[in-house]
Structure 1
Amino acid sequence: MSHTLTDTYGRRITYLRLSVTDRCDLRCFYCLPQGFTDFEVPEHWLDFDEIERVVAAFADMGVQRLRLTGGEPLVRRGLPDLAAQLSSIPGIDDLSLSTNAVQLAKQAQALKQAGVSRLNVSLDSIQADRFKQITGGPLDKVLRGLATAQQAGFHPIKLNMVVMKGVNDDEVEAMVQFCIEHGYTLRFIETMPMGDTGRDAADHYLDLREVRARLEQRFELVDAVMPGGGPAKYVQVAGTDLKLGFITPISQHFCDTCNRVRLGVDGTLYLCLGQDHSVELRPHLRQGISHDGLVNLLTEAIARKPHKHEFREKPTQVVRFMSQTGG
């Protein structure tokens, strides 16, 4: 490691979330609007070798954790091949994947063999009709994907539930029981005002402190930790193996300890989920920038990372959808 990535606020950047596509085979109403087609053109996608170059530069500066995201990463053709390329980069100690699991049954074994070690799966409901209302997709394929991933040896498998008032908040306890029975980790997430869809979902915002208080009336919760580079705060349900995570970007933001940046499928490096600070890497890559030049470019980019998002103060500020940012 020849450099370290530290921003102007003293935060060391060790985690890259890498979007391999902005497309998705679901349409969660808080993420992508029905009928949306304004996706990035394939000619602007970073190819696998370009992605590998960027990740190698980040790894050279101390980034150890890499997460493949989207959109839905499993719709990117050849994803296991890319995972194998990236898992072999010196310095990348943890390669994980975020997915909706619709296509996971077909790819779980190949991804495991390619070096993906952990999975995060979006699952906002375990009621088939409600799942379809939220996502437009089939719950049975997701459950089949989860079971196949367990058989392939993935552990832990973390389920991400965006808890929304009046939509699925009545399923919180049922989701806890589901995860106890099946051996999954469960993480609750607050809605965020990303794009028009995210702002429309703001009417369903629920402070997760209320969810935790509800759960404490039914379960004994003790502090716990989990592997991973993300912001979740974990507890364990006493008497079980279940760990619960709470991701609270609105009620209790975690900007002071932010250790991550996001790379869009088009090579845009987003320095904050809730701000517009970004740097375009694709033009430099296609003009033949050297490895040292790329390292210098990333160092300069990290110096522009803002101190915090402003979801509460400026909820209309970010107009891009979550799928464009990279999860």
Structure 2
Amino acid sequence: MLVDPFNRVIDYIRVSVTSRCNFRCLYCMPNTPFEWEPKENVLSYEEMFEFLRLAIDEGIKKIRLTGGEPLVRKDLDKFVKMLHDYKPELDLALTTNGYYLKKYAKKLRDAGLKRVNISLDSLKKDVAKKIAQRDCLDNVLEGIDEAIKVGFRVKLNTVVMRGINDNEILDLLEFAKNKGVQIRFIEFMENERAYPGIKRVDSKEVLEKIGSRYSFKELPKKNEASKNFVLDDGSVFGIIEPHNEEFCKSCNRIRLTAEGYLIPCLFFTESYNIKEAIREGNIQKAAEILRDVVKNKPEKNDWQEEKISDRAFWETGG
């Protein structure tokens, strides 16, 4: 079992299989050039699996595959199958922008993937295109429908930005209700790569807007990123507040990048690289690095009102 200095059991790892993405979202990487990472810099699926097998043996129970956009990396379903075959009860999930999901959903489901989180920042084609800097909404909506069809447990993620999509909160909630899936509204996390002038809408305002139409109550907090609420009809929605200390108190996550960096906290720049140890076949060294990451996991993130993160979120999966 992996336990950090604050008695949090670390049983969840987010794995960025690639830092590449086919979107250039305003809140993430709007001005980052499209480029290819040299193959030798990126862990192969086999190398990732060697480390994750170790992490599973040490107590990891949940793995979420992220990017960049994970579906731009070839043969992701084969990687999913490697993990599923090693431990079928593993909670295997994927976070995606949904653009290629219609094409790959069934393959991923058949390989053992259990859950999918899909970004949906707008229901308006022009706004979605403005945010992603790509004409994407039709593909994303088709991806959502296909994910539901093949039997995934689906959640939708919306980053709420003032003056851009904050007028769609109720429409997005209604959309999720009609699809029978949960939506989570995420507070924008300030970072140096985001488009200048993006403004956060805090959770209090989101809840006020929802409360103008629906009655709801907060559900007991579980060990997950979101605070969850239930409407009178039983529909559940969530709020993710990365700036709130409560977000950190229940944090059970570490992150692995495609280049082999293990990251104990999203908002800290500290990281540890396991690539050399894995490529040398030194599993003992990789295990030591894993334990060091957990041992050095901070109590809370380093976010402050006057401080902007320089973390490249597309490398860590957010």
TM-score (norm 2): 0.94
* 1:185-205 per-position Cα deviation (integer Å, ceiling 9, x unaligned): 11000011233317x35x411
Alignment partner, residue 286 of structure 2: 294
Residue type of the partner of 1:217? S
Alignment partner, residue 7 of structure 2: 10
SS in 2 for 1:150: helix
SS in 2 for 1:196: coil
CA-CA distance at 1:218 after TM superposition: 1.3
- Give aligned pairs, total: 317
Runs (5+) with no aligned partner, structure 1: none
Alignment partner, residue 128 of structure 2: 131
CA-CA distance at 1:294 after TM superposition: 2.4
Instruction: Give the distance between the partners of 2:201 and 2:317, measured in 1 at CA.
Output: 23
Alignment partner, residue 276 of structure 2: 283
4+ residue segments displaced more than 6 Å: none
The change in CA–CA distance for 1:226 and 1:175 in structure 2 (over 3 A counts) is farther
Alignment partner, residue 151 of structure 2: 153
Q: Which residue of 38, 50, 55 maps to 1:53?
A: 50
CA-CA distance at 1:38 after TM superposition: 5.8
Between the aligned residues of both structures, percent identity stands at: 35
CA-CA distance at 1:223 after TM superposition: 3.0
Residue type of the partner of 2:255? R
Instruction: Give the distance between the partners of 2:109 and 2:156, measured in 1 at CA.
Output: 18
CA-CA distance at 1:208 after TM superposition: 0.8
Alignment partner, residue 309 of structure 1: 301
CA-CA distance at 1:89 after TM superposition: 2.3
Residue type of the partner of 1:146? I
CA-CA distance at 1:164 after TM superposition: 0.8
The change in CA–CA distance for 1:274 and 1:166 in structure 2 (over 3 A counts) is same
Instruction: Give the distance between the partners of 2:165 and 2:305, measured in 1 at CA.
Output: 26
Alignment partner, residue 111 of structure 1: 108
Residue type of the partner of 2:99? V
The change in CA–CA distance for 1:308 and 1:101 in structure 2 (over 3 A counts) is same
- Aligned-CA RMSD value: 1.9
Alignment partner, residue 203 of structure 2: 208
SS in 1 for 2:229: strand
Q: Which residue of 227, 234, 237 maps to 1:233?
A: 227
* 1:211-256 per-position Cα deviation (integer Å, ceiling 9, x unaligned): 11221221011233699x63101111112x4210000012454112
Instruction: Give the distance between the partners of 1:69 and 1:208, measured in 2 at CA.
Output: 24
Instruction: Give the distance between the partners of 2:22 and 2:144, measured in 1 at CA.
Output: 17
Residue type of the partner of 1:287? E
- Is 1:29 matched with 2:21? no
Equivalence map 1:30-109=2 (5 Å): 30-37=27-34, 40-90=37-87, 93-109=90-106
The change in CA–CA distance for 1:304 and 1:278 in structure 2 (over 3 A counts) is same
SS in 1 for 2:123: coil
- Is 1:274 matched with 2:272? no
Residue type of the partner of 2:312? F
CA contact (8 A) 1:59 1:92 kept: no
CA contact (8 A) 1:69 1:98 kept: yes
CA contact (8 A) 1:124 1:160 kept: yes
SS in 2 for 1:120: strand
Instruction: Give the distance between the partners of 2:89 and 2:20, measured in 1 at CA.
Output: 26
SS in 1 for 2:46: helix
TM-score (norm 1): 0.92
CA contact (8 A) 1:103 1:145 kept: yes
* 1:281-317 per-position Cα deviation (integer Å, ceiling 9, x unaligned): 1111112213x4322221122111112112225623x
SS in 2 for 1:5: coil
Residue type of the partner of 1:232? S
Equivalence map 1:157-172=2 (5 Å): 157-172=154-169
Alignment partner, residue 142 of structure 2: 144
CA-CA distance at 1:320 after TM superposition: 2.9
Runs (5+) with no aligned partner, structure 2: none
SS in 1 for 2:289: helix
Alignment partner, residue 187 of structure 1: 184
Instruction: Give the distance between the partners of 2:221 and 2:177, measured in 1 at CA.
Output: 16
Instruction: Give the distance between the partners of 1:40 and 1:320, measured in 2 at CA.
Output: 18
